[in-house]
Amino acid sequence: MASTEPPAPSPDDTPTAVRLLVVGVLFALAVSPAVLLLGLRGAGAAGTALVALALVFVGPAFSAAAFALGDRAIEEGLGPVAAFGRGYRINAMDALVLWVPSVLALAGLTLAVASGIGTAPAWATGVGIGAAVLLLLWLVQATVIASFFSFRARDTAKLALYFLGRLPRSTLVVLVAVVLAGAVGWLMSPALLALFGVLWVAVVLRADRPLLAETRQRFVADDS
């Protein structure tokens, strides 16, 4: 009796450079509302609120780009456009669940640090900045996990926190990437960061290969 199972899809053979270019263009388009909002930012609470709103657009785009550059999309035969579209569609809500409360917390920390400059002790300012960086680092790791696995939000949050200490080498690389992205976006241009953001995603994804492998091995049930 002939098998009725559909044939396994052939891996996508798009060259890596082309895939990066196409995903990079799609990522830049997806975050273009954020770039426009950041261009309007001013000082004070209103400017901080505008930055927070802008960052919300980054989460789903980051998740979609990570999915499109990941091994799963390539193995399933998805070209870069189809992979980005699929990643955005299936991961946008999970990304927003992580990013909305996180950027609100970041906005609160930013306002607290800014209001304390010149009046609060130096150690308090340092703690506030450290907490903001740690939150950003956790958010990046949580988004990477959510891009490839369908865990509950609280489980994703716990795993991201767990891996911050579990894989220090990956955490360090991602920390450097987060700091560089912040420096480019703040000191140079958010548009420049958007244009080359796909390279940042690729670096983060490369650093987080051990995280993804361990998550798949230890925390995903084998249905075979």
pLDDT of residue 134: 92
For 115, the domain range is 16-215
Residue 2 to residue 20: CA distance in whole angstroms: 40
Q: Chain-wide mean pLDDT for the chain?
A: 88
Q: What is the pLDDT of residues 52-111, one digit of tens each?
A: 888 899 999 999 999 999 998 988 888 999 999 999 999 999 999 999 999 999 888 888
| Within-domain flag for 200 | yes
Q: Please state the rounded mean pLDDT for residues 119-127.
A: 75
| Within-domain flag for 5 | no
Residue at 133: amino acid letter? V
Provide the percentage of residues in the chain whose pLDDT is more than 70: 90
| Within-domain flag for 220 | no
Q: What secondary structure letter does DSSP report for 9?
A: P
pLDDT of residue 4: 54
Domain count, the chain: 1
| Within-domain flag for 207 | yes
The band of 116, judged by pLDDT with boundaries at 50, 70 and 90, is low
- Total Cβ atoms within 10 A of residue 5: 6
Q: What is the pLDDT of residues 146-196, one digit of tens each?
A: 999 999 999 999 999 999 999 999 999 999 999 998 888 878 888 999 999
